[in-house]
Amino acid sequence: MGGITYDDLLNATPHQYKSTADAWGKWRDAVDKHGGDLLTVNQHVSGNWDSAAASEAHAFIDAKHLKVQESSRVLAQVESTLTTAYTNFAEAHNKLVQTVQLATANGFDCTGGKVTDTRPATDTKRDSDRATIQQGYQDDIDAALKEATSADSSVATALRDLMPGTDLSSGNDNGTGPGNGHGTPLSAPVDYAHSGSIPVPANASTLAPNPRAQQIINWALTKLGDPYVWGATGPDRFDCSGLTSQAYHAAGIDIPRTSDVQWQQEPSVPAGHEQPGDLVFFHMGNSGPGHVGIVLDPEKGTMIVAPHTGSYVQIQNYKTQNPIGFARPT
């Protein structure tokens, strides 16, 4: 994006930019409401469905809810960025208007952002004084343009970082989103690709407390993006317990094939004391938990998991999914 021109800033209507920030805020509110509706559905499933169906539905809804939460987070950051940027833009606009008014009243012309003296020369001392005043006006105009350009650029940078693929160059949203002269918001969706609902953390290969636990995590990370298939144990498709059993097997630890027997036979770990590589269980049924994942980062509450039919191995937040317990096979 080029810099803001003198005429752009002088004739700007900053309140329109504030309206843009408010529009993104309304969008975020709508996303948050959708997230609340998903939680309501989850509660309905818990109370009315049998354990097998509930387990599958829970996993599906949890995955969708995580994406809703991520969308809400991005929208909130966009709204905050816009509000700050347009506040700075408005201050720059007001500064420019006041400078031009004052300069004009004192006999200077500011056309095109270049300050010139319209009064005839009189004497050397007066000319020197007016030259100093003229330079002061020029400095104020240049500073206002720089501030406005910085505010405008901060929006472009933030949106590109938060929403890869967003087009900010067209200056026309064609009425398809809450944008106002800054391209189409979310013209391409955020690409979660095969990194799961949560990106792989930079320290994923150093999180575990011991080499064997790290082997479990490292092996599971190589399966990100592999499709979920009920009953599958690899090598390139898995269900939830198929992934966990094979991850442990890769580290030289053999554990039962299914989540309920894993829960019954493996040593339990108190909540709050789980470590990377531990098993985390969900959705208690008649014979035991119907879902299981591998703890990745307890501090952030993340796990590696094969969620449900139609999905793939990915990273999710287990703390938002009401885990029923943890285990640490040895």
Which parts of the chain fold into alpha helices (H)?
6-10, 14-48, 51-105, 124-162, 211-221, 240-250, 259-265
Task: Judge if 44 and 99 occupy the same domain.
Answer: yes
Task: Please state the pTM of the whole predicted model.
Answer: 0.45
DSSP letters for 246-268: HHHHHTT----SSHHHHHHHSPE
User: What is the chain's pLDDT, residue by residue, as a tens digit (330 residues)?
Assistant: 357 889 888 888 776 666 666 766 777 777 777 777 777 776 676 666 665 566 666 666 666 666 677 677 777 777 777 788 778 888 888 999 999 999 999 999 999 999 999 887 665 556 778 889 999 999 999 999 998 888 877 777 766 666 544 443 333 333 333 333 322 233 333 333 333 457 788 888 899 999 999 999 999 999 998 888 888 998 999 999 999 999 999 999 999 999 999 999 999 999 999 999 999 999 888 888 989 999 999 999 999 999 887 788 999 989 888 899 999 999
What does the pLDDT read at residue 100? Answer: 93
Task: Judge if 151 and 240 occupy the same domain.
Answer: no
The verdict on residue 271 lying in a domain is yes
What does the pLDDT read at residue 123? Answer: 59
What does the pLDDT read at residue 238? Answer: 93
CA distance 233 to 117: 82
The verdict on residue 193 lying in a domain is no
Task: Judge if 229 and 289 occupy the same domain.
Answer: yes
Task: Judge if 156 and 230 occupy the same domain.
Answer: no
- Amino acid sitting at position 211: P
The verdict on residue 182 lying in a domain is no
Task: Judge if 122 and 252 occupy the same domain.
Answer: no
The verdict on residue 320 lying in a domain is yes
Task: Judge if 309 and 257 occupy the same domain.
Answer: yes
- In the chain, the number of structural domains is 2
Helix (H, G, I), strand (E, B) or coil at 163: coil
Domain that holds residue 100: 6-162
CA distance 34 to 51: 25
Task: Judge if 19 and 156 occupy the same domain.
Answer: yes
The 10 Å Cβ neighbour count of residue 121 is 9
Task: Judge if 87 and 226 occupy the same domain.
Answer: no
The verdict on residue 47 lying in a domain is yes
Phi, psi (rounded to 5 degrees) for 5: -85, 165
Which of 146, 162, 178 lies at the terminal end of a domain, its last residue? 162
Task: Judge if 125 and 219 occupy the same domain.
Answer: no
**CATH number, domain at 154?**
1.20.1260
The verdict on residue 170 lying in a domain is no
Tokens 């809810």, located at residue: 65
The verdict on residue 172 lying in a domain is no
The verdict on residue 199 lying in a domain is no
